Amino acid sequence: MTIGFERRDVRATIWILTALSLLIVYLPPLYLVGISFNPSLQPGMPSLGDISLKWYGALVNERGLLAALKESLLIATVTMVVSTLLAIFAALAYLELGRLKNGWFLFVVFPMFVPGIIQGLALSVILNRWQVVPFWGTVVMGHILWSLPFAFTVILTSMATVKRSYVLAAADLGANWWQRTTQIVLPLITPGLVGGAIFSFLLSLNEFARSSYLVGRQNTLPLLMFGKMNSGATPTIYALSGVILLVSILAVAAVMYLIARRRRALAERSVEKA
């Protein structure tokens, strides 16, 4: 009985489909990076001789773009820290809750299903009523509502590796709640914490709908870029996209390298004396 994966034609089909999907996913952003090296004002792939860093140089003078980037990074960082912390507590609560588990899960995850334009509008109406002047903090509020469900789900998934008996055993050996949490639970869910944090950061950095209602005087990057595209794109936007893409790829590569190194160290430690 075979499933067919060893057949030549089946394998070829799978490879072609894989290559096709990768192209669809990665070609557009790569094209964007490509045109960012074209010195002409008209977007298009540069010929090899024309490659230039002109627009990257021009980036430094784009005060508005840089200010928006700074604002977005600030908002994303605060969102990441707060969402991850809240998600940890929400997941710990889930671990302790008995019959209320499912209700709690739905309660935390629900904002994921509220359309951004409605959530943003609702929040801005209430903040307006309380006479809160919009600033980066109001955007953070909207972004936490958006990213918390995702961070919570990611952390909850890694909680599955924490057997209830680990916590009981720690208690049996004298550990109180705080020691059980910091010495047993958190170290075991570290991969989930990292994943949840990255997720929150990226969701916030990308967010448009909620930001558009809650933003103060300083635009976030997605809002600014959208505005610029509407009023005729300048190629500096392509350059900025190139930088962000490159930094994202490097960041993911760094995280994967660190995880691989840690895994290798663990494996070596266990083989050492065996």
Partner 1 sequence: MAISISLDNVARAFGTVKAVDGIDLQICAGEFFTLLGSSGSGKSTLLKILGGFEKPSSGSVKFDGADVTGVPANRRPCNTVFQDLALFPHMTVAENVGYGLRVRGGNRNDRVKRVNDALSLVDLKGYGERTIAALSGGQRQRVALARALVMEPGILLLDEPLTGLDERLRQQMRDEFGRLHRKTGATFILVTHNQDEALTLSDRLAVMHNGRFEQVGTPDDVLNRPANEFVARFVGLESIVTPEAVRLEDKTCHATISGKHFSFAAPGMTAAPRKLAIRPDRVTLSEDGGIPVTVARHHFRGRHHELVLVTGDGTTITAEVPSDRSPQSLGIGMVATAELQDGALIPVMT
Of the candidate spans 21-29, 45-53, 180-188, 201-209, the one that interacts with partner 1 by CB under 8 A turns out to be: 180-188
| CB closer to partner 1, 70 vs 262 | 262
| CB closer to partner 1, 177 vs 257 | 177
Q: DSSP string of 212-247? A: HHH--SSPPHHHHHHHHHHT---THHHHHHHHHHHH
175 is a site residue for partner 1 (CB under 8 A): yes
Of the candidate spans 43-51, 61-69, 90-98, 166-174, the one that interacts with partner 1 by CB under 8 A turns out to be: 166-174
88 is a site residue for partner 1 (CB under 8 A): no
188 is a site residue for partner 1 (CB under 8 A): yes
184 is a site residue for partner 1 (CB under 8 A): yes
| Residue position matching structure tokens 């008995």 | 98
Q: Helix, strand, coil shares of the chain as percentages rounded to 5?
A: 80, 0, 20
66 is a site residue for partner 1 (CB under 8 A): no
Per-residue CA distances from 88 to 26, 94, 140, 182, 218 (Å): 33, 10, 18, 11, 31
In this chain, which of 12, 93, 133, 169 binds partner 1, going by CB under 8 A? 169
Is the CB of residue 184 less than 8 Å from the CB of residue 175? yes
63 is a site residue for partner 1 (CB under 8 A): no
In this chain, which of 78, 166, 216, 248 binds partner 1, going by CB under 8 A? 166
99 is a site residue for partner 1 (CB under 8 A): no
Residue numbers 106-165 binding partner 1 by CB under 8 A: 161, 163, 165
* CA distance linking residue 178 with residue 168, whole number of Å: 13
Of the candidate spans 37-45, 63-71, 172-180, 231-239, the one that interacts with partner 1 by CB under 8 A turns out to be: 172-180
| CB closer to partner 1, 159 vs 175 | 175
* CA distance linking residue 215 with residue 20, whole number of Å: 39
179 is a site residue for partner 1 (CB under 8 A): yes
| CB closer to partner 1, 33 vs 188 | 188
* CA distance linking residue 167 with residue 181, whole number of Å: 8
Neighbours of 245 (CB within 10 A): 15
In this chain, which of 173, 230, 231, 232 binds partner 1, going by CB under 8 A? 173
193 is a site residue for partner 1 (CB under 8 A): no
Is the CB of residue 62 less than 8 Å from the CB of residue 219? no
The b-or-e profile of 45-75 (16+ CB within 10 A means b, else e) is eeeeeeeeebbbeebeebeebeebbebbebb
| CB closer to partner 1, 9 vs 268 | 268
Residues in touch with partner 1 (CB under 8 A) = 161, 163, 165-166, 168-176, 179, 183-184, 187-188, 266, 269-274
